Amino acid sequence: MSGPSEVQRLLAIINQAATDALSEYATHGEDVPSIYEAKSHPLDLSDAAFNLKKIIRTLEGACHQLCATLAPPLHTVLNNGQDYSWACLRVAASKGITEILDDHPDGVHIDELSLKVGITKGKLATIMRTLVARHCYQEVSKDVYANNRLSLTLRSQTPGTAFLDLQTQEGQQAAFYLQKSLDDPVYGPATDLQHTAFTYSVKDTGFSGTLYEWIREHKDRLQVMIKGMVGMNQLMGTLSVLEVFPWGKYKTICDVGSGSGSFTWSLVQKFPAIEVTMFDLPETISVAEKAAADQKNGVDRVKFSSGNFFEGSPPDGLDVYYLRNIIHNWPDNSALSILQSVQKAMRKDSRVLVHDYILPSYHDPEGDNPAHALDKAPPPMLPDFGYGNMRLHNQNLTMLFMYNSRERTVAELTGLSQAAGLKLSRVWDLGETAVFELVRSDSSE
Ligand SMILES: C[S@@+](CC[C@H](N)C(=O)[O-])C[C@H]1O[C@@H](n2cnc3c(N)ncnc32)[C@H](O)[C@@H]1O
């Protein structure tokens, strides 16, 4: 395809995707939001909006590819290398700027904002201007800043800002040390959890261990991590699995590595006949048991089981074993042990749902099997949607920095599953994440 025809095709894709997005808002009976409004939109965190996610994946991917096609290459490459907006987001969230602006819909002058947050006016103005250029906050008149739709997500104490805190602290710290750790003769070739970019970044403090051990020693970060997992799942839109998978056919579910239970509580509240057992390490289960006090209903249908999936199995004989954001945390040998431990607990007709980002791979035959295929972007886009799947690649990198692990392709997950005595039944593409549905190898399905 020639340059001009690539551009024409990308423009057509962008046009179609934007039109589809407008229709999707109409389908849900909602107005199209304005970026200048300081109010949340009903579809912002809706589990039912997974089609919108798919459309945006195409739109973002095509827009970025169009710019990368037409701009000088150094422009695009350094846009990526120079992106410091994360540091400004971190300041805004930690200083509660959104909450201050909440009380002033007409905006606050930088002089007053500077006094309220305790940051010198000139420095704060630089930070605010950077964020405004990213559509987060708005400058309503000269040096007067107000909230908009995006800045509302920066209210402190929310799961979303807890996730931002993790990404911009431990995440960025590990990212900085990636290159140094790769050059290190011990850390570079290591595949274990003790020798990651993150553990490299803290080794001069005298710490040696895994991220999990580090978190245990830093209890304040454990709380942020538990809350941040809720925010991460909001971002990923994982709860759309409640809309897509036929949960109504099943009664007993095990939420394996449940964390504080953000999935469990949503499941029992949406499906009144379902019973869930949360299975996690003792320290996490005790946090989850305390969090149960905040739940309005379904508490009598939730059981707590503490254990370690490397030393035993989750409770046996349940209908569905659901593993969300678990397998991707572990290198292959450990991921295999987890699947084996679940397989041992299964009845012949039980099933396992592995819910992670799944890496598209368009060059392996398994990816072409229509029953297992993930959506593919139209040419001339990169088949995996490129920038449209950026969070998948960011998560893949986070797994590398933190655990020496990675997101996996359908073929890689299929291989691990087979080694654990399981076989693939179906892949559910949720627009951002995907669910890998497995049954026992000896099942007649
Ligand atoms: C990334 S979090 C995912 C939590 C939850 N599934 C979610 O999606 O929000 C990983 C979870 O695995 C749990 N975990 C780690 N090692 C474990 C083990 N050996 N046995 C059981 N659970 C474990 C952690 O405590 C944590 O809750």
* Least confident span in 145-149, 183-187, 228-232: 228-232
Residues 173 and 149 in one domain: no
The answer to whether residue 66 scores a pLDDT higher than 90 is yes
Percent pLDDT > 90 in the chain is: 81
Separation of 313 CA from ligand 1 center, angstroms? 14
Output the residue whose Cα is nearest ligand 1's atom 24: 257
Nearest to 322, CA basis, from 366, 273, 262: 262
Q: What's the average model confidence in pLDDT over 410-426?
A: 94
Range of the domain at 194: 164-218
Separation of 391 CA from ligand 1 center, angstroms? 20
Verify whether ligand 1 is closer than 6 Å to residue 222 (CB atom): no
Report the C-alpha gap between 7 and 29 in whole angstroms. Answer: 33
3-state secondary structure of 369: coil
Nearest to 313, CA basis, from 289, 284, 345: 345
The answer to the question of residue 232 being in a domain is: no
Output the residue whose Cα is nearest ligand 1's atom 4: 259
Whole-number pLDDT of residue 365: 56
The answer to whether residue 429 scores a pLDDT higher than 90 is no
Probe residue for ligand 1, chosen from 216, 255, 258, 357 as the CB with the greatest number of ligand atoms within 8 Å: 258
Residues 327 and 408 in one domain: yes
Q: Into how many domains does the chain fold? A: 4
Separation of 322 CA from ligand 1 center, angstroms? 12
The answer to whether residue 364 scores a pLDDT higher than 80 is no
Looking at residue 314, which CATH number applies to its domain? 3.40.50.150
Residues 190 and 320 in one domain: no
Report the C-alpha gap between 274 and 409 in whole angstroms. Answer: 31
The pLDDT confidence band at residue 156, using thresholds 50, 70 and 90, is: confident
Separation of 154 CA from ligand 1 center, angstroms? 26
3-state secondary structure of 139: strand
Output the residue whose Cα is nearest ligand 1's atom 14: 257
Structural Rg of the chain based on CA atoms: 23
Verify whether ligand 1 is closer than 6 Å to residue 281 (CB atom): yes
Strand 408-409 and strand 302-306: the pairing is unpaired
The answer to the question of residue 223 being in a domain is: no
Separation of 284 CA from ligand 1 center, angstroms? 8
List, for residues 36-63, the tens digit of each pLDDT value. 999 989 898 887 788 899 999 999 999 9
The pLDDT confidence band at residue 368, using thresholds 50, 70 and 90, is: low
Residues 323 and 418 in one domain: yes
* Least confident span in 3-7, 160-164, 296-300, 363-367: 363-367
Q: Is the dihedral of CA 384, 389, 394, 396 positive or negative?
A: negative
Whole-number pLDDT of residue 106: 96
The answer to whether residue 366 scores a pLDDT higher than 60 is no
Residues 206 and 249 in one domain: no
Q: How many Cα atoms sit within 13 Å of 402 on the Cβ side?
A: 23
Residues 125 and 205 in one domain: no
List, for residues 311-344, the tens digit of each pLDDT value. 999 999 999 999 999 999 998 999 999 999 999 9
**Contact between residue 325 and residue 419 where contact means Cβ atoms under 8 Å apart:** no
Q: Select from 81, 106, 133 the last residue of a domain.
A: 81
User: What amino acid is encoded at 405 in this protein?
Assistant: S
The pLDDT confidence band at residue 74, using thresholds 50, 70 and 90, is: very high
The answer to whether residue 371 scores a pLDDT higher than 60 is no
More confidently predicted of 94 and 411: 94
Residue 181 parent element (H or E): helix 172-183
Residues 300 and 201 in one domain: no
**Contact between residue 389 and residue 380 where contact means Cβ atoms under 8 Å apart:** no
The answer to the question of residue 229 being in a domain is: no
Whole-number pLDDT of residue 155: 93
Probe residue for ligand 1, chosen from 163, 230, 280, 284 as the CB with the greatest number of ligand atoms within 8 Å: 280
Residues 7 and 150 in one domain: no
Verify whether ligand 1 is closer than 6 Å to residue 49 (CB atom): no
Angle between helical axes of 390-403 and 172-183 (0-180°, round to 10): 60
Residues 129 and 252 in one domain: no
Output the residue whose Cα is nearest ligand 1's atom 18: 308
Which residues does the annotation mark as catalytic?
A: 328
Output the residue whose Cα is nearest ligand 1's atom 12: 257
Residues 202 and 141 in one domain: no
List, for residues 181-205, the tens digit of each pLDDT value. 999 999 999 999 999 999 999 999 9
Polymer length of the chain? 445
